Amino acid sequence: MKYSFKIGSVWGIPVELHLTFLLLMVGVFVLFYPEFYSFILIVFLFVFVFFHELAHSIMARRNQIKVRKIILYPIGGVSEIEEVPENPSIEWRMAFAGPVTSLILGAALLGLSQLIPIRLPLSIVPSELPSLGNLLFDLGFLNLLLGAFNLIPAFPMDGGRVFRALLAERMKYSDATKYAVYLGRLFGIGMVIVGFVFPEYFPLIIVGIFVYIGASEEAEQTILSTTLANVRVRDVMQSQVGSVNPEQTLTEALEVMFKARYHDALVEIDREFQGVVTWNELMKIAPEQRNTLKVGEMPLKKISVCQDESVLEAYKITTRQRMDLLPVVDCETSTKVVGVLTSEGIANAYEKARNSR
Protein backbone atom coordinates (compact mmCIF):
# COMPACT_ATOMS: atom_id res chain seq x y z
CA MET A 1 0.00 0.00 0.00
CA LYS A 2 1.18 3.52 -0.70
CA TYR A 3 2.66 5.71 2.02
CA SER A 4 3.66 2.83 4.30
CA PHE A 5 7.07 1.34 5.00
CA LYS A 6 8.33 -1.84 6.61
CA ILE A 7 9.49 -1.67 10.23
CA GLY A 8 9.95 -5.38 10.88
CA SER A 9 8.26 -8.77 10.71
CA VAL A 10 6.65 -11.23 13.11
CA TRP A 11 6.44 -14.97 12.30
CA GLY A 12 7.35 -14.14 8.72
CA ILE A 13 4.59 -11.50 8.39
CA PRO A 14 5.95 -8.10 7.27
CA VAL A 15 4.81 -5.23 9.50
CA GLU A 16 4.47 -1.77 7.93
CA LEU A 17 3.79 1.63 9.49
CA HIS A 18 1.58 4.05 7.61
CA LEU A 19 2.84 7.60 7.17
CA THR A 20 -0.23 8.99 8.96
CA PHE A 21 0.97 7.36 12.18
CA LEU A 22 4.25 9.27 11.98
CA LEU A 23 2.40 12.49 11.12
CA LEU A 24 0.18 11.99 14.17
CA MET A 25 3.21 11.44 16.42
CA VAL A 26 4.97 14.52 15.06
CA GLY A 27 1.80 16.58 15.38
CA VAL A 28 1.23 15.53 18.99
CA PHE A 29 4.88 16.18 19.84
CA VAL A 30 4.77 19.71 18.38
CA LEU A 31 1.37 20.65 19.81
CA PHE A 32 2.04 19.45 23.34
CA TYR A 33 5.76 20.19 23.68
CA PRO A 34 7.32 20.32 26.29
CA GLU A 35 4.66 18.03 27.85
CA PHE A 36 5.43 14.48 26.64
CA TYR A 37 2.56 12.53 28.16
CA SER A 38 0.35 12.59 25.05
CA PHE A 39 3.34 11.57 22.92
CA ILE A 40 3.96 8.57 25.19
CA LEU A 41 0.30 7.56 24.85
CA ILE A 42 0.60 7.63 21.04
CA VAL A 43 3.73 5.45 21.14
CA PHE A 44 1.95 2.88 23.31
CA LEU A 45 -1.12 3.10 21.09
CA PHE A 46 1.11 2.01 18.19
CA VAL A 47 2.03 -1.12 20.18
CA PHE A 48 -1.57 -1.97 21.01
CA VAL A 49 -2.77 -1.44 17.44
CA PHE A 50 -0.12 -3.98 16.46
CA PHE A 51 -1.52 -6.52 18.96
CA HIS A 52 -4.99 -5.85 17.54
CA GLU A 53 -3.86 -6.67 14.01
CA LEU A 54 -1.71 -9.58 15.11
CA ALA A 55 -4.85 -11.22 16.53
CA HIS A 56 -6.46 -11.01 13.06
CA SER A 57 -3.38 -12.56 11.49
CA ILE A 58 -3.13 -15.40 14.00
CA MET A 59 -6.78 -16.30 13.43
CA ALA A 60 -6.23 -16.19 9.66
CA ARG A 61 -3.25 -18.53 9.89
CA ARG A 62 -5.19 -20.93 12.08
CA ASN A 63 -7.59 -21.24 9.16
CA GLN A 64 -4.77 -21.79 6.62
CA ILE A 65 -5.15 -18.31 5.13
CA LYS A 66 -1.93 -16.57 4.12
CA VAL A 67 -1.27 -13.11 5.57
CA ARG A 68 0.71 -10.85 3.22
CA LYS A 69 1.46 -8.06 5.70
CA ILE A 70 0.18 -5.90 8.53
CA ILE A 71 -0.19 -2.14 8.05
CA LEU A 72 -0.62 0.05 11.14
CA TYR A 73 -2.76 3.20 11.17
CA PRO A 74 -3.49 5.59 14.08
CA ILE A 75 -7.09 4.39 14.57
CA GLY A 76 -6.52 0.77 13.64
CA GLY A 77 -4.69 -1.35 11.13
CA VAL A 78 -5.07 -3.65 8.18
CA SER A 79 -4.06 -7.30 7.94
CA GLU A 80 -3.72 -7.98 4.23
CA ILE A 81 -4.77 -11.58 3.71
CA GLU A 82 -4.52 -13.73 0.59
CA GLU A 83 -8.29 -13.82 0.10
CA VAL A 84 -11.55 -13.24 1.93
CA PRO A 85 -12.72 -16.53 3.49
CA GLU A 86 -15.61 -18.13 1.64
CA ASN A 87 -16.95 -19.47 4.91
CA PRO A 88 -18.79 -16.62 6.74
CA SER A 89 -18.14 -18.21 10.14
CA ILE A 90 -14.38 -17.98 9.53
CA GLU A 91 -14.64 -14.37 8.35
CA TRP A 92 -16.53 -13.12 11.39
CA ARG A 93 -14.18 -14.94 13.77
CA MET A 94 -11.17 -13.39 12.05
CA ALA A 95 -12.74 -9.93 12.17
CA PHE A 96 -13.89 -10.33 15.78
CA ALA A 97 -10.44 -11.39 17.03
CA GLY A 98 -8.97 -7.88 16.80
CA PRO A 99 -11.59 -5.92 18.76
CA VAL A 100 -11.83 -8.67 21.40
CA THR A 101 -8.05 -8.49 21.89
CA SER A 102 -8.24 -4.69 22.31
CA LEU A 103 -11.12 -4.99 24.79
CA ILE A 104 -9.32 -7.64 26.85
CA LEU A 105 -6.12 -5.55 26.92
CA GLY A 106 -8.15 -2.48 27.89
CA ALA A 107 -9.89 -4.26 30.75
CA ALA A 108 -6.57 -5.70 31.98
CA LEU A 109 -4.87 -2.30 31.93
CA LEU A 110 -7.77 -0.66 33.77
CA GLY A 111 -7.53 -3.37 36.41
CA LEU A 112 -3.78 -2.86 36.76
CA SER A 113 -4.26 0.90 37.04
CA GLN A 114 -6.20 0.30 40.25
CA LEU A 115 -3.62 -2.12 41.63
CA ILE A 116 -0.50 -0.04 40.80
CA PRO A 117 -1.24 3.61 41.75
CA ILE A 118 2.49 4.42 42.02
CA ARG A 119 4.59 7.13 40.42
CA LEU A 120 7.21 6.54 37.76
CA PRO A 121 10.81 7.03 38.99
CA LEU A 122 11.81 10.70 38.70
CA SER A 123 15.21 9.61 37.39
CA ILE A 124 13.48 8.19 34.30
CA VAL A 125 10.80 10.76 33.47
CA PRO A 126 9.97 14.37 34.45
CA SER A 127 8.13 14.82 37.74
CA GLU A 128 5.13 16.45 36.05
CA LEU A 129 4.08 13.16 34.42
CA PRO A 130 1.02 11.48 35.98
CA SER A 131 1.39 8.32 38.03
CA LEU A 132 1.91 4.95 36.42
CA GLY A 133 -1.61 4.12 37.54
CA ASN A 134 -2.97 7.04 35.52
CA LEU A 135 -0.90 6.03 32.50
CA LEU A 136 -2.26 2.48 32.65
CA PHE A 137 -5.79 3.84 33.07
CA ASP A 138 -5.48 6.02 29.97
CA LEU A 139 -3.96 3.20 27.93
CA GLY A 140 -6.75 0.92 29.07
CA PHE A 141 -9.33 3.49 28.03
CA LEU A 142 -7.67 3.89 24.61
CA ASN A 143 -7.75 0.13 24.06
CA LEU A 144 -11.42 -0.02 25.00
CA LEU A 145 -12.06 2.85 22.61
CA LEU A 146 -10.09 1.11 19.84
CA GLY A 147 -12.01 -2.13 20.38
CA ALA A 148 -15.40 -0.45 20.58
CA PHE A 149 -14.77 1.72 17.51
CA ASN A 150 -13.78 -1.28 15.44
CA LEU A 151 -16.94 -3.10 16.50
CA ILE A 152 -19.14 -0.52 14.77
CA PRO A 153 -21.11 -2.66 12.27
CA ALA A 154 -19.96 -0.75 9.20
CA PHE A 155 -17.07 -0.97 6.76
CA PRO A 156 -14.13 -0.58 6.92
CA MET A 157 -14.19 -1.46 10.64
CA ASP A 158 -14.02 -5.05 11.85
CA GLY A 159 -17.63 -4.80 12.97
CA GLY A 160 -18.61 -4.27 9.35
CA ARG A 161 -16.97 -7.56 8.39
CA VAL A 162 -18.67 -9.35 11.28
CA PHE A 163 -21.98 -7.83 10.15
CA ARG A 164 -21.34 -8.84 6.53
CA ALA A 165 -20.41 -12.40 7.52
CA LEU A 166 -23.55 -12.83 9.64
CA LEU A 167 -25.69 -11.54 6.78
CA ALA A 168 -23.85 -13.79 4.31
CA GLU A 169 -25.08 -16.82 6.25
CA ARG A 170 -28.62 -15.81 5.25
CA MET A 171 -28.21 -14.19 1.81
CA LYS A 172 -25.84 -13.82 -1.14
CA TYR A 173 -22.36 -12.57 -0.31
CA SER A 174 -22.70 -9.61 -2.69
CA ASP A 175 -26.00 -8.54 -1.12
CA ALA A 176 -24.55 -8.84 2.38
CA THR A 177 -21.64 -6.64 1.34
CA LYS A 178 -24.02 -4.09 -0.18
CA TYR A 179 -25.90 -3.67 3.10
CA ALA A 180 -22.71 -3.46 5.16
CA VAL A 181 -21.24 -0.88 2.77
CA TYR A 182 -24.48 1.13 2.86
CA LEU A 183 -24.34 1.19 6.66
CA GLY A 184 -20.67 2.18 6.56
CA ARG A 185 -21.39 5.14 4.32
CA LEU A 186 -24.23 6.25 6.61
CA PHE A 187 -21.91 6.12 9.63
CA GLY A 188 -19.28 8.10 7.74
CA ILE A 189 -21.75 10.80 6.72
CA GLY A 190 -23.16 10.91 10.25
CA MET A 191 -19.70 11.43 11.78
CA VAL A 192 -18.95 14.27 9.37
CA ILE A 193 -22.26 15.98 10.20
CA VAL A 194 -21.64 15.65 13.96
CA GLY A 195 -18.14 17.08 13.50
CA PHE A 196 -19.53 20.15 11.73
CA VAL A 197 -22.46 20.71 14.11
CA PHE A 198 -20.37 20.28 17.26
CA PRO A 199 -16.92 21.91 16.74
CA GLU A 200 -15.51 20.19 19.83
CA TYR A 201 -15.87 16.90 17.93
CA PHE A 202 -14.12 18.21 14.82
CA PRO A 203 -11.82 15.11 14.54
CA LEU A 204 -14.96 13.09 13.73
CA ILE A 205 -14.94 14.78 10.30
CA ILE A 206 -11.61 13.13 9.47
CA VAL A 207 -12.73 9.78 10.88
CA GLY A 208 -16.03 10.02 8.98
CA ILE A 209 -14.26 10.66 5.69
CA PHE A 210 -11.99 7.69 6.38
CA VAL A 211 -15.00 5.47 7.10
CA TYR A 212 -16.88 6.61 3.98
CA ILE A 213 -13.90 6.08 1.67
CA GLY A 214 -13.12 2.72 3.27
CA ALA A 215 -16.70 1.54 2.77
CA SER A 216 -16.64 2.64 -0.88
CA GLU A 217 -13.35 0.83 -1.50
CA GLU A 218 -14.79 -2.33 0.06
CA ALA A 219 -17.74 -2.09 -2.33
CA GLU A 220 -15.39 -1.82 -5.31
CA GLN A 221 -13.31 -4.75 -4.13
CA THR A 222 -16.40 -6.91 -3.72
CA ILE A 223 -17.62 -5.95 -7.19
CA LEU A 224 -14.24 -6.98 -8.53
CA SER A 225 -14.31 -10.34 -6.74
CA THR A 226 -17.88 -11.29 -7.57
CA THR A 227 -17.55 -10.09 -11.16
CA LEU A 228 -14.31 -11.87 -11.98
CA ALA A 229 -15.35 -15.05 -10.18
CA ASN A 230 -18.14 -15.54 -12.71
CA VAL A 231 -15.95 -15.03 -15.80
CA ARG A 232 -13.86 -17.84 -17.27
CA VAL A 233 -10.33 -17.29 -18.50
CA ARG A 234 -11.21 -18.59 -21.96
CA ASP A 235 -13.73 -15.74 -22.35
CA VAL A 236 -11.16 -12.95 -22.04
CA MET A 237 -7.83 -14.51 -23.06
CA GLN A 238 -5.92 -13.64 -26.22
CA SER A 239 -5.28 -16.53 -28.57
CA GLN A 240 -2.59 -14.74 -30.59
CA VAL A 241 0.55 -13.67 -28.75
CA GLY A 242 4.20 -13.27 -29.54
CA SER A 243 6.62 -15.67 -27.93
CA VAL A 244 10.34 -16.34 -27.79
CA ASN A 245 12.41 -19.50 -27.58
CA PRO A 246 15.23 -20.15 -25.09
CA GLU A 247 17.90 -19.70 -27.79
CA GLN A 248 16.97 -16.10 -28.57
CA THR A 249 18.88 -13.23 -26.99
CA LEU A 250 17.51 -10.93 -24.32
CA THR A 251 17.50 -8.08 -26.85
CA GLU A 252 15.19 -10.11 -29.09
CA ALA A 253 12.97 -10.87 -26.09
CA LEU A 254 12.72 -7.15 -25.35
CA GLU A 255 11.72 -6.48 -28.95
CA VAL A 256 8.88 -9.01 -28.59
CA MET A 257 7.78 -7.28 -25.37
CA PHE A 258 7.75 -3.85 -27.00
CA LYS A 259 5.88 -5.13 -30.04
CA ALA A 260 3.24 -6.90 -27.92
CA ARG A 261 3.16 -3.98 -25.43
CA TYR A 262 3.57 -6.26 -22.42
CA HIS A 263 6.35 -6.39 -19.86
CA ASP A 264 6.63 -10.17 -19.95
CA ALA A 265 7.29 -12.63 -22.76
CA LEU A 266 6.07 -16.19 -23.22
CA VAL A 267 8.86 -18.75 -23.72
CA GLU A 268 8.09 -21.81 -25.85
CA ILE A 269 9.85 -24.64 -27.69
CA ASP A 270 7.79 -26.04 -30.56
CA ARG A 271 4.66 -24.56 -28.95
CA GLU A 272 5.41 -26.27 -25.62
CA PHE A 273 5.32 -24.01 -22.59
CA GLN A 274 8.69 -23.39 -20.93
CA GLY A 275 7.91 -20.40 -18.73
CA VAL A 276 7.71 -16.61 -18.73
CA VAL A 277 10.65 -14.24 -18.80
CA THR A 278 9.75 -11.03 -16.98
CA TRP A 279 10.70 -7.42 -17.59
CA ASN A 280 12.04 -7.07 -14.04
CA GLU A 281 14.50 -9.91 -14.56
CA LEU A 282 15.66 -8.50 -17.90
CA MET A 283 16.23 -5.07 -16.36
CA LYS A 284 18.71 -6.62 -13.92
CA ILE A 285 21.01 -7.39 -16.86
CA ALA A 286 23.36 -4.69 -18.10
CA PRO A 287 22.43 -3.41 -21.61
CA GLU A 288 25.76 -4.49 -23.10
CA GLN A 289 25.13 -8.11 -22.02
CA ARG A 290 21.64 -8.42 -23.49
CA ASN A 291 22.97 -9.12 -26.99
CA THR A 292 24.86 -12.20 -25.85
CA LEU A 293 22.82 -13.67 -23.00
CA LYS A 294 20.04 -16.02 -24.07
CA VAL A 295 16.52 -16.31 -22.70
CA GLY A 296 17.20 -19.88 -21.56
CA GLU A 297 19.88 -18.57 -19.20
CA MET A 298 17.36 -16.40 -17.36
CA PRO A 299 15.15 -17.49 -14.43
CA LEU A 300 11.73 -18.31 -15.88
CA LYS A 301 8.42 -18.24 -14.05
CA LYS A 302 6.75 -21.55 -14.85
CA ILE A 303 3.30 -20.35 -13.86
CA SER A 304 0.18 -20.83 -15.93
CA VAL A 305 -3.58 -21.06 -15.61
CA CYS A 306 -6.13 -23.43 -17.12
CA GLN A 307 -8.59 -21.95 -19.62
CA ASP A 308 -11.56 -23.13 -17.50
CA GLU A 309 -10.37 -21.32 -14.36
CA SER A 310 -12.14 -18.17 -13.15
CA VAL A 311 -10.58 -14.81 -13.98
CA LEU A 312 -10.58 -14.06 -10.25
CA GLU A 313 -8.10 -16.89 -9.59
CA ALA A 314 -5.96 -15.69 -12.49
CA TYR A 315 -6.09 -12.14 -11.12
CA LYS A 316 -4.82 -13.37 -7.75
CA ILE A 317 -1.88 -15.08 -9.46
CA THR A 318 -0.91 -12.02 -11.52
CA THR A 319 -1.15 -9.80 -8.44
CA ARG A 320 0.84 -12.16 -6.24
CA GLN A 321 3.51 -12.86 -8.87
CA ARG A 322 3.52 -9.30 -10.27
CA MET A 323 3.06 -10.58 -13.80
CA ASP A 324 1.66 -8.63 -16.73
CA LEU A 325 1.08 -11.73 -18.83
CA LEU A 326 -0.21 -15.12 -17.67
CA PRO A 327 0.00 -18.13 -20.02
CA VAL A 328 -3.24 -20.06 -20.51
CA VAL A 329 -2.77 -23.79 -21.02
CA ASP A 330 -5.07 -26.58 -22.08
CA CYS A 331 -6.73 -28.15 -19.06
CA GLU A 332 -5.70 -31.65 -20.17
CA THR A 333 -2.24 -30.81 -21.51
CA SER A 334 -0.44 -28.42 -19.19
CA THR A 335 2.38 -27.79 -21.67
CA LYS A 336 0.13 -26.72 -24.54
CA VAL A 337 -0.40 -22.96 -24.56
CA VAL A 338 -3.77 -21.94 -25.99
CA GLY A 339 -3.50 -18.22 -25.23
CA VAL A 340 -2.49 -15.62 -22.67
CA LEU A 341 -4.36 -13.57 -20.13
CA THR A 342 -3.05 -10.03 -19.73
CA SER A 343 -3.64 -7.40 -17.06
CA GLU A 344 -5.39 -5.37 -19.74
CA GLY A 345 -7.77 -8.25 -20.43
CA ILE A 346 -8.62 -8.57 -16.74
CA ALA A 347 -9.22 -4.82 -16.47
CA ASN A 348 -11.48 -4.82 -19.53
CA ALA A 349 -13.53 -7.73 -18.17
CA TYR A 350 -13.97 -5.89 -14.87
CA GLU A 351 -14.92 -2.58 -16.50
CA LYS A 352 -17.50 -4.18 -18.79
CA ALA A 353 -19.17 -5.98 -15.92
CA ARG A 354 -18.97 -2.90 -13.69
CA ASN A 355 -20.60 -0.68 -16.32
CA SER A 356 -23.35 -3.19 -16.97
CA ARG A 357 -24.57 -3.25 -13.36
- Residues with a known catalytic role: 53
Distance from the first to the final alpha carbon of the chain: 28
User: Quick one: 317 exposed, middle or buried, by C-beta within 10 A (0-12, 13-18, 19+)?
Assistant: middle
Distance CA 155, CA 95 (A): 11
Q: Sign of the C-alpha dihedral, residues 11, 64, 58, 214? A: positive
* Phi, psi angles (nearest 5°) of residue 122: -65, -20
Neighbours of 283 (CB within 10 A): 12
